Structure 1
């Protein structure tokens, strides 16, 4: 008897609960467009006409696209359902993400309205405002590579001092010949720097990155790779491409190579330039090139010149042997010919116009361990002991009293030693001397590897102070 009374009370309460309950659509509370809701496809009532539905949909699409756009999939008091298509990758209809280009763009959103077993199509224009990029200079350009794993939020002052960021690295799938951006975890943050006027290009390749040789070997492979690059440019609105193939025709670091690499690279660059220009006439196409006398072994420089905006000469990692020498010195010495000046002269002799030459600075140092120390320290026998970011050199090594600072006037380059280790690097003095050399010779400018290795901004500022006048 007690059980029956309890059961009756439970059913009574359940009935009262169901009578007062309202079914809430899953997306309600998340959608900022009041009145949108999801629908039961069996709903057979409609309080709105098709024209009223179209008017409501149109009213929900702003004239200017916000950072994130919410597209209605249904209208209150109607069984109509709506699906969407965009004629531009600048608006992702799935996520609602809006990507700004270099100029204002009118995007056509197409609404497919399913109503009373019929599909009606309506096009709605929406303007995606462009970012205001700073005018690109023809000389004294400051560009820097930004390696994703060393990303940090740069200050407004640093942002005001850099013209181009080469976001590093996308890679090439050696089988499909398509771009892979999987390692670029800070893509949205880096692209957001465009709002500060910085041009952000996508750097492809890097040390030990395979896929170039396979990707440019045939016309079909090049077409696939170029289509993938262009799709990426359109989707993310990069301001250009930097090619970092280390190195054509070489199997260094275990990458694939072919005797035709040099010729195929030229064909690829020519075809890529044509595709880029047909999309946007302000896109940069740059290339990172070896900083030594062997340039003509890897590149058809005269063939590349008409299509490349800047040759980013990697004038660092020059002293990687087994003696204590400089890795990024400005001038050659009696015992070391590799230098910024030597490398620049090689490219000038091969026909690169001076306004397309961009010399390199290093925001890191090479450390070596002495095996024997001669009186002069420099050129003593050593073994390599890795690299150090400038941040570490500044905060840890330079504050260590066991280290002695030296400046080689002949090479115009600093180095450090504590009797056990030798460190070759760029400091504000040497990097400013490089900038002055580039400025005095009317070169295109200066680049560096890499931005995240000097969080203080000290080295970037040293370049900027020379170039700003």
Structure 2
């Protein structure tokens, strides 16, 4: 006869911080025992047993803005019911009911040695958001040992920045965007771009801060000739030679391949089922030519490259042997929409996402599962958001991708001209959703918004973080964080760990990232042994506020 389980009450403990203990009442043959257990102990049991049953989801309490007692009541009630069901499922299962770990868990003894405080055990109303963010996020699985995490950024050639004015102490790597392969399998630059690149490399090296400058090739709309340039050994040799020449003549520290995407039409370029295999051959040739001292990286989506069968590769360890880093573009998961969703989810934190593979947590797991070590993975962080025409006051989850992997495609809105901006603001075209394809595109020109923070002229477009601040919709506080302004209200999406702004009177929702959400993602990268983080792109920051928050979270 299986024991009867009930969790009808709970207690709180004060050390090391106020946390919740769920009193597990076990009844067997008229004998009653009570085992006080933290939520994190249930998680540990679940991980030990590797059982198929469901726990109530993590809520990442660090995202709670305003602690309140009703949050306590709602969370505790949800977990009591869910944890009771979880234990009952285990005890009804012939595979798990006699497991030593389960029997020990149900005993009245204290089964776990002291461990550091887990945010998920907290009493929400006693833990401020700032205090929660000061607690290290626990990682899922063993974190790989990594060197000091890298804080990098992309430097677009169209940004209008002065290379000599960059504070290089804030950046370990600057990825200069972009050169593109041409029809002759050589590199091409935009007007004046290569001169800016050389100035940037010279200034970085003269600064003495150790900043490396890497040229990025491709970008959204710049991949027309990638497939043909790596498609034959002769073309690969031409492209490698051209890259080597540009590196040497400009004093660069490496090359970044931003092919969006192999075996996919991307922005409408030719592609081949042999693209992934040819890309590996290209990486091998490139590494042989450049040697081990130069950086070779690749900007990628959440899932590995598509193989010849149109599905993500299951083993990319051969690529990892050639590459220094893979740059995961964890953004553009959801574009502008009447039902807006998060631009850059940390994870599927409520277990409700319709596309759970499109997040920072999922990307790390997916690339590691395919054989790419975490210590070579850089997590991408967006310094921009999207403005949607919508009256929503909350965010929705990501869409489900189609079976033929159209998730690796993206449709962008055409540029909005001054002559059509007024009419398009009344009824903007609805863009296709962006799926698993963080991409590097040219942003719209930053315009000065109206004094009352009316962002309707941005409907359907990306918006730089500094443009949100400039509009007055975000107001910078003295501690470096940002709050609502200009008639907008700020919300927080616990399910993705990202902020948003809304103004129902203006039918406007802004999805973006701020110091809080970027801190969470950077801490996630560090605690999971990732190589570090990069941003797209440094010109969209409010000075260096976001970059400083990221660096601090990486322990720099």
Count matched residues. 327
2:321, 2:303 → 1: CA distance? Answer: 22
1:208 pairs with 2:216:
no
1:266, 1:418 → 2: CA distance? Answer: 48
State the match for 1:398 in structure 2.
Answer: 474
* Cα displacement string for residues 400-442 of structure 1 (whole angstroms, at most 9, x for unaligned residues): 4221111122321111111212211110111011110011111
State the match for 2:71 in structure 1.
Answer: none
State the match for 1:234 in structure 2.
Answer: 248
2:538, 2:328 → 1: CA distance? Answer: 17
- For the 8 Å contact 2:343–2:511, the answer to whether it is kept is yes
3-state SS of paired residue (1:432): helix
From 437, 447, 461, the counterpart of 1:386: 461
From 354, 366, 369, the counterpart of 2:374: 354
Give the drift of 1:204.
0.4
State the match for 1:82 in structure 2.
Answer: none
- For the 8 Å contact 2:465–2:540, the answer to whether it is kept is yes
3-state SS of paired residue (1:170): strand
1:198 pairs with 2:211:
yes
2:238, 2:430 → 1: CA distance? Answer: 44
Residue range with higher mean Cα deviation, 349-358 or 288-297? 288-297
* Matching of residues 72-111 of structure 1 within 5 Å: none
Residue range with higher mean Cα deviation, 379-388 or 330-339? 379-388
Select the structure that is richer in strand: 1
Query: Normalising by structure 2, what TM-score?
Result: 0.56
1:327, 1:201 → 2: CA distance? Answer: 26
* Cα displacement string for residues 352-382 of structure 1 (whole angstroms, at most 9, x for unaligned residues): 1110111110011112112xx4564546999
* Matching of residues 309-324 of structure 1 within 5 Å: 309-320=324-335, 322=337, 323-324=339-340
Give the drift of 1:256.
1.2
From 182, 202, 208, the counterpart of 2:190: 182
Query: Normalising by structure 1, what TM-score?
Result: 0.66
1:309, 1:245 → 2: CA distance? Answer: 16
From 292, 298, 309, the counterpart of 1:287: 298
State the match for 1:415 in structure 2.
Answer: 500
Give the drift of 1:295.
5.8
State the match for 2:162 in structure 1.
Answer: 153
1:363 pairs with 2:375:
no
Please list every run of 5 or more consecutive structure 2 residues that lacks an aligned counterpart in the other structure: 1-145, 400-428, 432-459, 476-484
- For the 8 Å contact 1:357–1:444, the answer to whether it is kept is yes
Give the drift of 1:308.
0.6
Larger-gyration structure (1/2): 1
1:207, 1:380 → 2: CA distance? Answer: 21
State the match for 1:248 in structure 2.
Answer: 262
From 317, 321, 335, the counterpart of 1:302: 317
- For the 8 Å contact 1:328–1:413, the answer to whether it is kept is yes
- For the 8 Å contact 1:374–1:380, the answer to whether it is kept is no
2:515, 2:393 → 1: CA distance? Answer: 27
2:547, 2:306 → 1: CA distance? Answer: 27
State the match for 1:106 in structure 2.
Answer: none
Give the drift of 1:153.
3.5
1:321, 1:394 → 2: CA distance? Answer: 19
3-state SS of paired residue (2:158): helix
Give the drift of 1:292.
4.2
- For the 8 Å contact 2:179–2:187, the answer to whether it is kept is yes
Over 3 Å counting, the alpha-carbon distance change for 1:235 and 1:155 in structure 2 is: closer
2:430, 2:510 → 1: CA distance? Answer: 12
From 492, 511, 518, the counterpart of 1:424: 511
Higher relative contact order (CA 8 A, sep 6+): 2
State the match for 1:327 in structure 2.
Answer: 343
- For the 8 Å contact 1:158–1:461, the answer to whether it is kept is no
Please list every run of 5 or more consecutive structure 1 residues that lacks an aligned counterpart in the other structure: 1-136
Give the drift of 1:230.
0.6
